[in-house]
Amino acid sequence: MSELENQLKRRLTFAIISHPDSGKTTITEKLLLFGGAIHIAGAVKSGKNLKASVSDFMEMEKERGISISTSVMGFEYKGRKINLLDTPGHADFSEDTYRGLSAVDSALLVIDSVKGVEERTRRLCEVCRMRHTPIATFINKLDREGKDPMELLDETERELAIGVRPVTWPVGQGRAFKGVYNLVEKSLYLFVPGEVERPTDMIKIEDLEDPLLEEKVGASLARRLRDEVALLTGVYPPFEMADYLSGKATPVFFGSALNNFGVRELLDTLAAMAPPPMPKAATERVVRPEEEKFSGFIFKIHANMNPKHRDRVAFLRVCSGKFERNASYYHVRSGKPFRTANPTAFMAQDSEIVNEAWPGDIVGIHDTGTFKIGDTITQGETIHFDGIPSFAPQIFRFIVNADPERDKQYRKGLDQMAEEGVVQIFSKPNRPNTRVLGVVGQLQLEVLQYRMEHEYNALCSYKNIEQTIAHWITSDDKKALEEFVDNYATRILVDIRDTYVFMSDSPWHFERVKSTNPKIRFYSTSEMVEVREASR
Ligand code: G4P
């Protein structure tokens, strides 16, 4: 087997997706502890303490600038090199999260058993579904009095439009939580509260009628488990690897991250079954990771928060071949050669210069303004990877230069911020100076103002815009598109690629316009094509 094939098989690149407060930070920390990547709990920072003000947020970003490595956490576990991508903690930065998902091959969905499926989970899963990303699910906080597990399965299946396949099943809940029964291994894992460092007790119980079950969990929970398992096996088909890998169904695990219960088993399962780097669809063709020639794309750009250093870190996902330090590559968008002397790999709390990287790896590249999100680097071929779309923002504002004397700074700042993906910028057709900002969350507007002032010495203010729902539009019928754009002139914007965006006031209004204009196609991402499925 070639070195490339060997390295490929070992790689596992995934992200945790969840609604804030579900336990993502706690799980990340436990995974890193098991992987030996950190040695003390509390080393992974949660992003949720920044609900407060912009300056709190900026402080935190500064810290992140220094320990940028927390964005990608690499560690070794059971022979696999695992790359765990962090997604921003704050809900306002979810567009960054969406894009981060373009760089992973699978996702771990965390659901709080008390709250069930929440808003952000829904949107993140939509993105995974669009790309057919395999999802494993961990239902957390079983030590609390949460929703009924049957109801949780049902809710997950219904709300996330994905098949659910319980792999473990809880025995009791809240104060009565006794552990989980693994339906595939047919073993009982017992939970001992407070004993976080001890390996979980595992007892083989092939047949649930075995009286050992009563002995271990008591008569009432034993009876309930038998009834529920009988019900489950009637309702849900058994877990099939192919359904997981194609994103059709998600294996579901139950546990309590805080109590370290179920997390190691989860990691073992992921190490055993999560997919290695997958082929990636590009506009030109499907790129396979085992191809000898290197290719990769930039999915995130992280600004240095120190205004004296305008440099940034661009995050490159390696898609095929071997990436080498100092080798000469091709930057597709500019058509120029590209070479880097200090590509950085990220371990849990460290980063180091590396000589090589393989498909699935994330490499940090020191950038002085060369890259934009979505850029491809290859060994000469022209490739544009799909799947790094802009998502429809939810908040729109006209942006106004509040200090016309500093117009140059204002334009530069705005352009750079758009390149970094902090905001999306639209304009009115034929009126390029009327600029509209689109963001996913309110905080982004404040961050933009702060950074414009502190990094670019420019002032900006906002004016409200009535419409709040954006859809990218196309049509096979050019004339119909032109007519539509004419008819709805006050509601049309263009994005930075000169694609039309239609603005509506409400879901109801949108539906009405859509149904009366059957020739127009509406999309909620800028990519406007169903991301093609790379053959698996
Ligand atoms: P997040 O990154 O998804 O936002 O969640 P995080 O891990 O920070 O967890 C959110 C809260 O839920 C934390 O409590 C955490 O301790 C708690 N938590 C995580 N897993 C479990 C679990 O299995 N059971 C229970 N009962 N709680 C859990 P906090 O009080 O908000 O923060 P902290 O002071 O404990 O850090």
DSSP 421-471: TSSEEEEETTEEEEEEEEESSHHHHHHHHHHHHHHH---EEEEE-S--EEE
Query: Ligand 1 test: best mutation among 26, 29, 259, 260, most atoms within 8 Å of CB?
Result: 26
Q: Give the C-alpha separation, 358 to 360, whole Å.
A: 6
CA of 97 to the centre of ligand 1 (A): 20
C-alpha 67: how far from chain center: 20
Which residue out of 21, 27, 114, 173 has the highest number of ligand 1 atoms within 8 Å of its CB and is therefore the one to mutate? Answer: 21
Is residue 459's pLDDT more than 50? Answer: yes
DSSP string, 206-275: SSTT-THHHHHH-HHHHHHHHHHHHHHHHHSPPP-HHHHHTTSEEEEEE-BTTTTBSHHHHHHHHHHHS-
The protein residue whose alpha carbon is closest to atom 7 in ligand 1 is 23
From atom 4 of ligand 1, which residue's Cα is the shortest distance away?
A: 21
The single-letter code of the amino acid at 151 is: E
- Measured in angstroms, how far is the CA atom of residue 51 from the centroid of ligand 1? 16
Report the separation in Å between the CA atom of 116 and the middle of ligand 1, taken as the mean of its atom positions: 15
**Res. 58: pLDDT tops 60:** no
How does strand 336-338 pair with strand 163-166? unpaired
Q: If you take atom 16 of ligand 1, which residue's CA is the nearest one?
A: 258
Residue of the nearest CA to atom 14 in ligand 1?
21
Question: Nearest residue CA, atom 10 of ligand 1?
Answer: 21
Please check the confidence at residue 15 and state whether its pLDDT lies above 90: yes
The proportion of the chain whose per-residue pLDDT surpasses 90, expressed as a percent, equals 53
Strand, coil or helix: 148? coil
Give the closest residue (by CA) to ligand 1 atom 17: 23
Q: Taking 90 as the threshold, does the pLDDT of residue 225 lie above it?
A: yes
193 CA from centroid of ligand 1 (Å): 16
Q: Output the CA 263–ligand 1 centroid distance in Å.
A: 14
Radius of gyration of the chain measured on its C-alpha atoms:
24
Point out the ligand 1 atom lying closest to the alpha carbon of residue 27.
Answer: 7
Q: What is the mean pLDDT of residues 105-116?
A: 96
**Which residue's CA lies nearest to atom 31 of ligand 1?**
21
Tracing tokens 């169903």 back to the chain, one arrives at 530
Nearest partner of 418 among 443, 388, 439, judged by Cα: 439
How many C-beta neighbours within 10 Å does residue 359 have? 30
Residue 407: what pLDDT? 93
Residues 6 or more apart from 46 whose CB is under 8 A from it? Answer: 25, 89
CA of residue 115 to ligand 1 center, whole Å: 13
Which residues approach ligand 1 with their CB closer than 6 A? 18, 20-26, 46, 48, 89, 140-141, 143-144, 256-259
Give me the pLDDT at residue 353, please: 86
> Does the pLDDT at position 50 exceed 60?
no
Q: How confident is the model at residue 200 (pLDDT cuts 50, 70, 90)?
A: low
Contact partners, residue 418, CB within 8 Å, separation at least 6: 424, 425, 496
Distance in angstroms (rounded) separating the CA atoms of residues 88 and 103 = 14
Least confident of 34-38, 102-106, 245-249, 375-379: 34-38
CA of 258 relative to ligand 1 center, distance in Å: 7
Which residue, judged by its Cα, is nearest atom 21 of ligand 1?
258
User: What pTM does this model have?
Assistant: 0.81
pLDDT score recorded for residue 183: 92
More confident residue, 496 or 435: 435
Mean pLDDT computed over 477-492: 95
Kindly give the distance from the C-alpha atom of residue 474 to the centroid of ligand 1, in angstroms, as a whole number. 44
DSSP reduced 3-state for 150: helix
pLDDT score of 49 more than 50:
no
The two tokens of residue 388 are 């790094």
Residue 39 has pLDDT above 70, yes or no: no
Please tell me which residue, 494 or 57, carries the higher pLDDT value.
494
Reference 469, options 435, 499, 434, 514; nearest CA is 514
112 C-alpha vs ligand 1 centroid, how far in Å?
A: 10
Distance (angstroms) between ligand 1 centre and the Cα of 196 equals 15
Q: Whose CA is nearest to atom 1 of ligand 1?
A: 21
Q: Which atom of ligand 1 is nearest to the CA of 18?
A: 3
Mean pLDDT computed over 68-78: 74
DSSP lists the bridge partners of residue 72 as: 85
Chain centroid, CA 176 distance in Å? 34
Q: For position 312, what pLDDT does the model report? A: 80
Predicted local confidence at residue 136, as pLDDT? 97
| Distance (Å) from CA 45 to ligand 1 centroid | 12
In order of their start, the domains of the chain are: 9-273 (3.40.50.300), 287-378 (3.40.50.300), 395-535 (3.30.70.3280)
Index of the ligand 1 atom closest to the CA of residue 259: 23
Distances (CA, A) of 531 to 102, 131, 133, 286, 448: 11, 6, 11, 12, 30
pLDDT confidence of residue 529: 43
The strands making up 179-182's β-sheet, listed across from edge to edge, are: 168-171, 179-182, 187-190, 201-204
Q: Which atom of ligand 1 is nearest to the CA of 19?
A: 3
pLDDT score at 92: 53
How far is ligand 1, taken at its centre, from the CA of residue 514, in Å? 43
CA angle 275, 276, 281 (to 5 degrees): 90
- Residue whose Cα lies nearest atom 20 of ligand 1: it is 258
Helix (H) or strand (E) holding 487: helix 478-487
How remote is the CA of residue 252 from the centroid of ligand 1, in Å?
20
CA dist 22 and 398 (Å) reads: 35
Please give the average per-residue pLDDT across 367-382, as a whole number: 90
For residue 482, give the H/E element and its range: helix 478-487
Atom of ligand 1 nearest to the CA of 257: 23
62-71, 269-278, 337-346, 443-452: which range is least confident on average? 62-71
| Tokens encoding 329 | 């590559």
Q: What is the dihedral angle through the alpha carbons of 367, 370, 330, 278, rounded to the nearest 10 degrees?
A: 70
| pLDDT at site 460 | 94
Calpha distance 65→336 (Å, rounded): 28
Tokens of 346: 């990220």
Share of the chain above pLDDT 70, in %: 85
Nearest CA to ligand 1 atom 6: 23
Q: What is the pLDDT of residues 400-433, one digit of tens each?
A: 999 999 999 999 898 888 877 778 889 998 887 8
User: Predicted confidence band at 491 (pLDDT cuts at 50, 70, 90)?
Assistant: very high
57 vs 362 pLDDT, higher one? 362
Mean per-residue pLDDT for 95-107?
83
- Band (pLDDT 50/70/90 cuts) for residue 64 is very low
Question: Taking a C-beta distance cutoff of 8 angstroms, is the pair 247, 129 a contact?
Answer: yes
Question: Residues 367, 313: contact at Cβ < 8 Å?
Answer: yes
Whether residue 528 has pLDDT greater than 80: no
Amino acid, res. 467: Q
pLDDT greater than 60 at residue 42 = no
Q: Mean pLDDT in the chain?
A: 85
- Cα gap 104→360, rounded to integer Å: 7
